[in-house]
Amino acid sequence: MGKFHHTVSRRDFMKGLGLSAAGLGAATVANPGFHDLDEVTASAGGELKRAWWVKENDFGNPATLEIDWSLVKRPDRSKISTFPYRNSTHPTAVYNKEHFAELQKSVIQHAAPDWEADSIQDLAMSGATLALRFYNYYTPAGKTMFMGYQNSPTPADRNMARWEGSPEENIRLLRHASRFFGASSLSVTLLDEDTKKLIFEKESNGKAYVFRDVADVEETATEYIIPNRFKYMITWTHLQATELTLREPSTLGQSASNMAYSRLPFISVQMQEFIRGLGYHGINAWSGEMASSNPFGVLSGAGEHGRFGFAVITPELGSMVRGMCRMLTDLPLEPTKPIDAGISRFCLTCATCAKFCAFGALSLEDPSWESLKEADTGVPYSPDGFKGWRLNTVKCANCTACQAFCPFNSSGRSSFIHEFVAGTSSITPIFNGFFANMEEAMHYGNKDPRTWWENEEYLYGINPKFI
């Protein structure tokens, strides 16, 4: 990859695409302040350090995802299995489980043709990172995510007035704190009569989520009671280990996911306690509780809906985001806008993730209004009310190969070439198929798992170019 970047000049690359004038002209039309491509790639992109090609849409209107709110119903999570693949008796799921090793191997050998099996050091790393995966810090302390740890002193405990900042000041405050805790970005959705439909009707334990005109948050034996003033849904992203992500779906590569899930609850506790220390309350949903992450990620502009279905793809981190967490709060916050970075349009012609999904869980078809049928999946729930892609959770073995192969993992971070590709894709989709094929041919996606042990590892496994 390094040789490719050094031997192809900016001018030659654009000429090869026929864009030496047209591509820059299109960029200038979209962003009239730019005079040449160096200015384009050097653009800061605003407070969130977004690239120049990331455009904002109106609040509640993710132009890249059509939503019919009249069809959206509050899901009952008590009837939804979190990982239906594991216990499914659906014929495809049974086959995939019985042939997991050979299916996994077929994908890994795309980058490592002579790869045969996990080494003892690979398995040792997997075991270490699995030790705290999904560890719940609340349960040992006899606390719940809904009510919080309640360890941080409140302003009243300190004989002080609570923090009173403007919504704009508050979101800057949370962004600063969340970055310190380990979150990559933070965005906000305003809860209204439509977006309230995204809150589960019931949790997996059978308790109902109810909104009432009451003063305090309360948890009973049958209900989670949310005061109506709680109308700010925070969404934050978490970057998992970058080099290990590129070595998925090997067992070693999956350590990136394991490690992320061991850190997510830690960040969530700190976020919740920080908000408590300001004099407010945060209702935590770090691992699927309270609401699905994808809709709030799209509505708040954290990223775009892509062919992955359940996972949001971001302009900055691509598909390396793990566990997009939510927190509902009464701290007044400035909502953030949904974005258009050309990601969903790229997914239309790319389909690389679906091609390399050995388990057939990702769709190769165009986006659809149709939800998956129970007869095909063996599970009673598939989200309605939007035109997009849906992950077949019965077939999904959580191998995470789709993450490794996503071309957006390299956009805007590794070199000028990737910045240019992402920017061009956002303006015109005509070259998307070419870019996707180039990404696959150059092996920018998954890498040979064995090479990870040969290179110097980054702190927490994260390449500084992504921070």
- Asked if 312 and 293 touch (Cβ cutoff 8 Å), the reply is yes
Strands 223-227 and 218-219: antiparallel
Tokens of 409: 């993992």
Structural Rg of the chain based on CA atoms: 22
Q: Which pLDDT value is given to residue 369?
A: 95
Question: What parts of the chain have a pLDDT lower than 50?
Answer: 1-46, 411-412, 414-417, 431
Residues 6+ apart with CB under 8 A from 158: none
User: In angstroms, rounded to a whole number, what is the distance separating the alpha carbons of residues 247 and 403?
Assistant: 10
pLDDT of residue 31: 44
Which residues fall within 8 angstroms of residue 198, CB to CB, at 6 or more apart?
72, 74, 291, 292, 295, 296
- What confidence score (pLDDT) does residue 329 get? 98
Token digits of residue 440: 């696959």
**Encoding tokens for residue 385?**
């009310």
pLDDT, one tens digit per residue, over 399-418 is 999 999 888 886 445 444 45
| pLDDT recorded at residue 423 | 57
CB 277 within 8 A of CB 248: no
What number of residues does the chain have? Answer: 467
The confidence score (pLDDT) of residue 429 equals 56
Q: What is the pLDDT of residue 201?
A: 96
The per-residue pLDDT for range 271-324, each reduced to its tens digit, is 999 999 999 999 998 878 999 989 999 999 999 999 988 889 998 899 999 888
